[in-house]
Amino acid sequence: MTLPIPQPPTIPFIGNVTSIDREVPLYSFRLMAKTYGEIYQLNMLGRFVVIVSSYDLVNEVSDETRFQKRVTGGLLQVRNLVGDGLFTAQPEEENWGIAHRLLMPAFGTLAVKNMMEEMRDISNQLLLKWERFGPDAIIDPSDDFTRVALDAIAYCSMSYRLNSFYTDTQPEFAIRMGDFLGESGHRANRPQIVQAVANIRGKQVKYEEDIRMMRGLADQIVSSRKTHPIKKHDLLDIMLNSTDPKTGQSMSEESIAQNLLTFLIAGHETSSGMMTFMVYFLLKNPEKLRKLRAQIDEVLGDREVQYEDFAKLPYLIAVMRETLRLAATAPMRATTALEDCTIRGNRGEYALKKGQSVVINTWDLHRDPKIWGEDADEFRPERMLDGGFEGKPNNAWQPFGFGVRGCIGRAFAWQEVTLVMASILQKFDLSLVDPSYTLQIKQTLTVKPKGLYIRASPRKGGV
Q: Which of residues 148-207 bind ligand MNH (CB under 6 A)?
A: 153
95 binds ligand MNH per the rule CB under 6 A: no
Query: Is residue 141 involved in binding ligand MNH (CB under 6 A)?
Result: no
Contacts of residues 303-306 at CB distance under 8 Å and 24 or more positions apart, as own/partner, are: 304/120, 304/423, 305/418, 305/419, 305/422, 305/423, 305/426, 306/116
Cα–Cα distance, 118 to 104 (Å, whole number): 20
**Which residues have a catalytic role annotated?**
270, 400, 407
Distance (Å, whole) CA 239 – CA 261: 13
Q: Indicate the residue whose CB is closest to ligand MNH.
A: 409
CB of 103 to ligand MNH, least distance (A): 8
C-beta closer to ligand MNH: residue 336 or 455: 336
Instruction: Kindly compute the dihedral angle of the four CA atoms of residues 59, 63, 67, 70, in this order, to the nearest 10 degrees.
Output: 70
- The answer to whether 147 contacts ligand MNH (rule: CB under 6 A) is no
Strand partners, 454: 139, 432
| Alpha carbon of residue 459 to chain centroid | 31
Q: How far apart are CA 307 and CA 298, in angstroms?
A: 16
Nearest distance from C-beta of residue 160 to ligand MNH, angstroms:
14
Among 59, 142, 258, 329, binds ligand MNH (CB under 6 A): 329
Show the binding pattern over residues 214-233: x = contacts ligand MNH (CB under 6 A), - = does not. Answer: --------------------
Contact between residue 344 and residue 56 where contact means Cβ atoms under 8 Å apart: yes
Q: Which of 61, 279, 352, 408 binds ligand MNH (CB under 6 A)?
A: 408
Find the shortest distance in angstroms from Cβ 203 to ligand MNH. 25
CA atoms within 13 A on the CB side of 388: 16
3-state secondary structure of 198: helix
H helix runs in 249-341, sequence order: 253-284, 286-300, 314-326
Q: How far is it, in rounded angstroms, from Cα 457 to Cα 133?
A: 9
Q: Which of 412, 418, 428, 430 binds ligand MNH (CB under 6 A)?
A: 412
276 touches ligand MNH by CB under 6 A: no
- Return the residue of 139, 409, 421, 456 that touches ligand MNH, per CB under 6 A: 409
To the nearest whole angstrom, how small is the minimum distance from the Cβ of residue 329 to ligand MNH?
Answer: 5
Question: Is 156 within any annotated ligand binding site?
Answer: no
Told to check if 413 binds ligand MNH by CB under 6 A, we report: yes
From the list 264, 229, 247, the residue with the least C-alpha distance to 238 is 229
- In whole angstroms, the minimum distance from the beta carbon of 328 to ligand MNH comes to 6
Q: How many residues bind ligand MNH (CB under 6 A)?
A: 25
Q: Does 399 bind ligand MNH (CB under 6 A)?
A: yes
Q: Does 449 bind ligand MNH (CB under 6 A)?
A: no
Binding span for ligand MNH by CB under 6 A among 167-175, 266-274, 337-345, 429-437: 266-274
Nearer to ligand MNH, 55 or 412 (CB): 412
- Among positions 96-115, residues that touch ligand MNH (CB under 6 A) are 100
Listed residue (46, 37, 10) closest to 350, CA to CA: 37
What are the contacts of 9-12 at 24+ separation with CB within 8 A?
A: 10/43
- Nearest C-alpha neighbor of 427 from the set 451, 395, 458, 448: 458
Which of 51, 239, 266, 352 is close enough to bind ligand MNH by CB under 6 A? 266
Q: What residues are paired with 359 via a beta bridge?
A: 51, 334
The least CB distance from residue 167 to ligand MNH, in Å, is: 22
Residues that bind ligand MNH (CB under 6 A): 69, 86-87, 100, 153, 262-263, 266-267, 270-271, 274, 329-330, 333, 399-401, 405-409, 412-413
Which residues fall in the annotated binding site for heme?
407
